[in-house]
Structure 1
């Protein structure tokens, strides 16, 4: 039996999306099976999305727009839907990240979220969100769309060497992730440097942090903490962290040497040759 659960469109972006999908499908004179056939999915999936039990993807939304001739309605709505799937404590940061013109980040253990491959993100998020994994991964991939804008933010990333060597998701996932970093380094507005173990003590020993700069708004400092994140515009904190970040950049390898180290670790630690992994 078709699920005809009533939705409150104002309850959440996901509920609004589902209500609009049902309304426009019915206006088009299509049942769930007929629409599913057009957009290459099951009637069950249509029903789950209409009742806010399943989160739509961007690809699904684009197919809906074409099938129902909505003028891009669902492609616009899906961004809000996916953003709403981020942890509540993280959403304010994600909104500010999307508005930043300059992002500087030091990452002690993991690849920065904007640069993660889908497989790497899935492995990372599976630890804390196994029951909502598809939704969380889709939200992270959606977050990365700011790098595809006509005027993307300048992104400067310092990765601890540990990021390259901490095996997340297995060798193939790591190899693909490191290849992804090398591709990102070819973009003129993205700078990636590796902070080698040989540096010893450094300005990032307290952990990962990110600095956001805006056109016309105060700079912001963000640091992840267990179960949440700390964000502040305190001028003294900003000043200290910008100085600290400058020290990290100065201690890190150059772009060229960073690319060489990433390539070396990718081939020697995660290569396909038997016995090629190194400590």
Structure 2
């Protein structure tokens, strides 16, 4: 069913774009399904744009402008909205992860959430806040279904070598976590590289970040600080992060050498654990 929930245009520039799209559509006397028929998509997709659950491409926004005779207003709003960082809640992030076709992660100090064992994840998310720990842990584990679906998320992860040595949860948990990383070595849709200490200075000193790519829709970047996670679709930001990721890939060990290092650290540091 098309999404007709109430939308607050003051929440973010992207919500303002969605509210304006709805206003122009209703002024034209069209339902979401009717507008979708005119621009060759479903009414449900129009609803997702109107409620800021998805970000339209420039080409599609131009189609909407032409169909609704807005004089290019929606495209101008999109250009403005793309310049802002949008706060993202955990469930919204999980939804993006589930809809993405490809995801590229850089994690300098911790194993990425999609690759975490349950015990490792429990230790990570329970460091400062143990309230509702079981439900938050279940949510993180549920996110990993994107790697098990019929068309798995194509996932590329660059881990800093520090993530292999930081004894999260204790030696036993770490041995199991590193062993779990090695289970991905023969899976085409999950690629793990390690950025070794020997790489020296590198372009990832500013911290972890993520790039999402979609079959339909613009590329998105994500990073978080101590308070929240932020999403950006600004083309200049995406280009800069893509270049940064390419440099990190070049500085990291190959996939096979990374697996060898993970196995070495597992045996050298945690080999005596059951």
TM range (shorter): 0.5 to 0.7
Please name the residue that 2:10 is paired with. Answer: none
Equivalents in 1 of 2:203, 2:94: separation in Å? Answer: 25
Please name the residue that 2:155 is paired with. Answer: 155
Equivalents in 2 of 1:144, 1:132: separation in Å? Answer: 19
Q: Report SS of the residue matched to 1:194.
A: strand
Deviation of 1:187 (Å) = 1.0
Deviation of 1:131 (Å) = 2.0
Deviation of 1:145 (Å) = 0.7
Between the two structures, name the one with larger relative contact order (CA 8 Å, sep ≥ 6).
2
Runs (5+) with no aligned partner, structure 2: 1-87
Please name the residue that 1:114 is paired with. Answer: 114
Q: Report SS of the residue matched to 2:176.
A: helix
Equivalents in 1 of 2:258, 2:147: separation in Å? Answer: 21
Q: Report SS of the residue matched to 2:260.
A: helix
Equivalents in 1 of 2:138, 2:90: separation in Å? Answer: 15
Equivalents in 1 of 2:174, 2:186: separation in Å? Answer: 19
Please name the residue that 1:99 is paired with. Answer: 99
Is contact 1:129–1:136 with CA below 8 Å preserved after alignment?
Answer: no
2:134 aligned with 1:125: no
Deviation of 1:173 (Å) = 0.2
Please name the residue that 1:271 is paired with. Answer: 271
* Segments ≥4 residues shifted beyond 6 Å: none
Q: Report SS of the residue matched to 2:142.
A: helix
Equivalents in 1 of 2:128, 2:211: separation in Å? Answer: 25
Is contact 1:174–1:270 with CA below 8 Å preserved after alignment?
Answer: yes
Q: Report SS of the residue matched to 2:131.
A: helix
2:196 aligned with 1:196: yes
Q: Report SS of the residue matched to 1:131.
A: coil
Q: How many residues align?
A: 188
Runs (5+) with no aligned partner, structure 1: 1-87, 274-279
Q: Report SS of the residue matched to 1:144.
A: helix
Please name the residue that 2:176 is paired with. Answer: 176
Q: Report SS of the residue matched to 1:178.
A: helix
Alpha carbon RMSD of aligned pairs, Å? 1.6
Deviation of 1:129 (Å) = 2.7
Deviation of 1:271 (Å) = 1.2
Equivalents in 2 of 1:93, 1:230: separation in Å? Answer: 10
Q: TM-score, normalised by structure 2?
A: 0.67
Please name the residue that 1:34 is paired with. Answer: none
Equivalents in 2 of 1:139, 1:233: separation in Å? Answer: 25
Please name the residue that 2:224 is paired with. Answer: 224
Equivalents in 2 of 1:269, 1:151: separation in Å? Answer: 36
Equivalents in 2 of 1:165, 1:134: separation in Å? Answer: 26
Deviation of 1:209 (Å) = 0.4
Please name the residue that 2:253 is paired with. Answer: 253
1:54-86 Cα offsets, whole Å, 9 max, x none, are xxxxxxxxxxxxxxxxxxxxxxxxxxxxxxxxx
